[in-house]
Amino acid sequence: MQLETLFLDAGGVLLFPNFERISAALGRHGVTIATGALAKAELAAKRQLDEEQTFQAMSDQERGRLYFSLMLERAGLSRTPSAEAAIAELHDYHRQHNLWDHVPGDARPALAAFRARGLRLVVVSNANGTLKRLFDRIGLTPTVDLVLDSHEEGVEKPDPRFFQIALERSGARQETTVHVGDLYHVDVVGARAAGIRPVLLDVGDLYAGVDCPRVRSLTALADAMLAGTFGTTPNQ
């Protein structure tokens, strides 16, 4: 059946951490690390965090705190009082403004390509209540049809109820919807539980062998759709 709707995660798909802001915050507290090292460490930390037991036992907020700890660990930084002070500063900024405000260069062109194919675009994201304001601030709101923030909805992925809310709110149908996310045990597991086909965005190529379609970028997904090859192999 022809695809009509694309559900998209925000963080890790359309938005990425502002590593310049993170590096600057650490630097203000005497901890020096390059943005490139942080970006590499973030991918490894996120993959380490993406385990079934973690998502069953923790809330999104708790996972967020662990995520920062793992990122610093992967970057080779110790949890010193200085590092802890920088993390507290970053958490405070994130609660107010959202730290995931970097839009990769391929995101807007890919969204335009999806829209050119007539797809309805719905953001379905575990977030902290700031996502809609963030989309307004960075100019992403006009590029999608609907933004759903788990904090506002009172339910978060992988709970299939969040996807059901998205289906109802957008007027989409399960059988003609695909969800693109970056975490297997949040996005793939949750989408499948809701009867929606998942696609895993694996920027770091860290999920070899997973049992779902996998793309390295939104551009690759848009190109596969344009070429008519989307869904023909497990790894796009």
The answer to whether residue 142 scores a pLDDT higher than 90 is yes
| Residues 115 and 54 placed together within one structural domain of the fold | no
| Residues 223 and 139 placed together within one structural domain of the fold | yes
Tell me the pLDDT of the chain averaged across its residues: 91
Q: What is the pTM of this model?
A: 0.91
Assigned domain for 112 exists: yes
pLDDT tens track for 82-97: 888 988 888 888 888 8
Q: End of a domain among 67, 97, 127?
A: 97
Domain region containing 83: 19-97
Which H/E stretch holds residue 97? helix 81-97
| Residues 145 and 221 placed together within one structural domain of the fold | yes
Assigned domain for 196 exists: yes
| Residues 9 and 111 placed together within one structural domain of the fold | yes
| Residues 62 and 114 placed together within one structural domain of the fold | no
pLDDT tens track for 167-222: 999 999 999 999 999 999 999 999 999 999 999 999 999 999 999 999 999 999 99
Residues 116-140 have a mean pLDDT of 96
| Residues 204 and 122 placed together within one structural domain of the fold | yes
| Residues 108 and 211 placed together within one structural domain of the fold | yes
Q: End of a domain among 66, 97, 128?
A: 97
Q: End of a domain among 97, 112, 146?
A: 97
Query: Which of 21, 5, 26, 6 lies closest to 201, judged by CA?
Result: 6
Plot region of 76 (φ>0 → left; ψ -120 to 50 → alpha; else → beta): left
| Residues 144 and 184 placed together within one structural domain of the fold | yes
pLDDT band at 226 (very low <50, low <70, confident <90, very high): confident
Assigned domain for 234 exists: no
Assigned domain for 159 exists: yes
Assigned domain for 28 exists: yes
Number of domains in the chain: 2
The answer to whether residue 233 scores a pLDDT higher than 50 is no
| Residues 60 and 121 placed together within one structural domain of the fold | no
Assigned domain for 122 exists: yes
Share of residues in the chain with pLDDT > 70 (%): 94
| Residues 111 and 210 placed together within one structural domain of the fold | yes
| Residues 90 and 147 placed together within one structural domain of the fold | no
Question: For the domain that residue 192 is a member of, what is the CATH number?
Answer: 3.40.50.1000
| Residues 136 and 72 placed together within one structural domain of the fold | no
Residue 10: the pLDDT is: 98
Share of residues in the chain with pLDDT > 90 (%): 72
Burial of 86-99, coded b for 16+ CB within 10 Å and e otherwise, reads: bbebbeeebeeebb
Spatial distance between the Cα atoms of 125 and 148, rounded to a whole number of angstroms:
6
The answer to whether residue 30 scores a pLDDT higher than 90 is yes
- Strand 177-181 and strand 146-149: the pairing is unpaired
